[in-house]
Structure formats: structure tokens, C-alpha cells
Amino acid sequence: MAIISKSVKERQIEADPGKCNGCLLCQLRCSYRFEKRFNPLKAAISVDPFHEAGLAYAMGFDDRCDACGLCAQVCQYGALSWTTKGGRP
């Protein structure tokens, strides 16, 4: 699967669906930032475990995503990475 990226100003989030295991920690953390409660459906990042057969997950970002990097900080599987201008998190 292809790498998906979201760039906002000098920040960038990259998602590698091939490394995702579908734990939804990224969605939980993101939803808490926006809604002050844990609800994956309210997150600016989406992980769709029913996209394809096998271990591939569909990942994406909606318009609210500002590439803050919180999702990448909680990703334990390396499916999300965060950089800023100059290549530093």
C-alpha cells in the first residue's frame, strides 16, 4: 500500500498502512484532542480495518487535521511518522 501524507504549513504526517495493526490508538488520541473524549469516529485521522482482506488497513486524514503529530507519538507500530520543516519532529 502507498504512503499517505498530510502537510500543513511546515509540519507533515506520513501514514504507512502496511505497518498498521488496527489498534486505533491514533484515532483515540486525536479524538481526545478535538472532542475531549475518546471516540474514534470523531478523530481527524481514520483507520478502516474493513478496507481489504488481510492485514492492510485504509488510513486517511480529514480537513481538521493540522499535522500536530499526536497520532504519530502514540503509534507503537511505526505506521505514523511526523516531521517538521528541516526534518525534525
Q: Is residue 89 part of a domain?
A: no
Q: Is residue 25 part of a domain?
A: yes
**Nearest 5 degrees, angle CA 51-CA 60-CA 65?**
155
Q: Is residue 38 part of a domain?
A: yes
- Which residues span the domain enclosing 21? 4-84
What is the per-residue pLDDT across 40-88, written as a single tens digit (0 to 9) for each?
Answer: 999 999 998 776 656 578 899 999 999 999 999 999 999 999 988 765 5
pTM of the model: 0.83
CATH number at residue 75: 3.30.70.20
Is the separation of the CB atoms in 79 and 17 below 8 Å?
yes
What total number of domains does the chain contain? Answer: 1
pLDDT higher than 70, residue 1: no
The confidence score (pLDDT) of residue 37 equals 95
Question: In sequence order, which ranges of the chain are alpha helices (DSSP H)?
Answer: 25-35, 70-74
